[in-house]
Structure 1
Amino acid sequence: MPPSIRILVYSDNALVRDQVRSALGTRVHPDLPELTYLDVATAPVVVSTIDGGGIDIAILDGEASPAGGMGLAKQLKDEVAVCPPILVLTGRPDDAWLANWSRAEAAVPHPIDPIRLCEAVAGLVRTLVT
Structure 2
Amino acid sequence: MSESHSSKERKYSIVLFSDDSSVREAIIGALGNRVAPEMAEHVIHEFATGAALRLFVDGKKPGTDKPIDLFILDAESVPEGGLGIARQLKDEVFNCPPVLVITGRKADAWLAAWSRAEANVLHPIDPFTLSATVADLLRTRTTALSTL
TM-score (norm 2): 0.83
Larger radius of gyration: 2
Cα distance in 1, alignment partners of residues 124 and 99 from structure 2: 18
Gaps of 5+ in 1: none
Which letter maps to 1:36? V
In the TM superposition, residue 33 of structure 1 has moved relative to its aligned partner by 1.1
Match for residue 48 of structure 1 among 42, 55, 63 = 55
Q: Which runs of 5+ in 2 are unaligned?
A: 61-66, 144-148
Aligned pair partner of 2:82 in 53, 69, 80: 69
2:104 to 91, 111, 130: 91
- 1:6-33 deviation line (CA, Å, top 9, x unaligned): 1111001111000000001011111111
Does residue 1:11 correspond to 2:18, yes or no? yes
Output the CA distance in 1 between the equivalents of 2:59 and 2:139: 23
Question: Which residue number in structure 2 is paired with residue 129 of structure 1?
Answer: 142
User: 1:111 deviation in Å?
Assistant: 0.6
Aligned to 2:124: 111
Equivalenced residues, count: 130
Percent identity for Structure 1 against Structure 2: 50
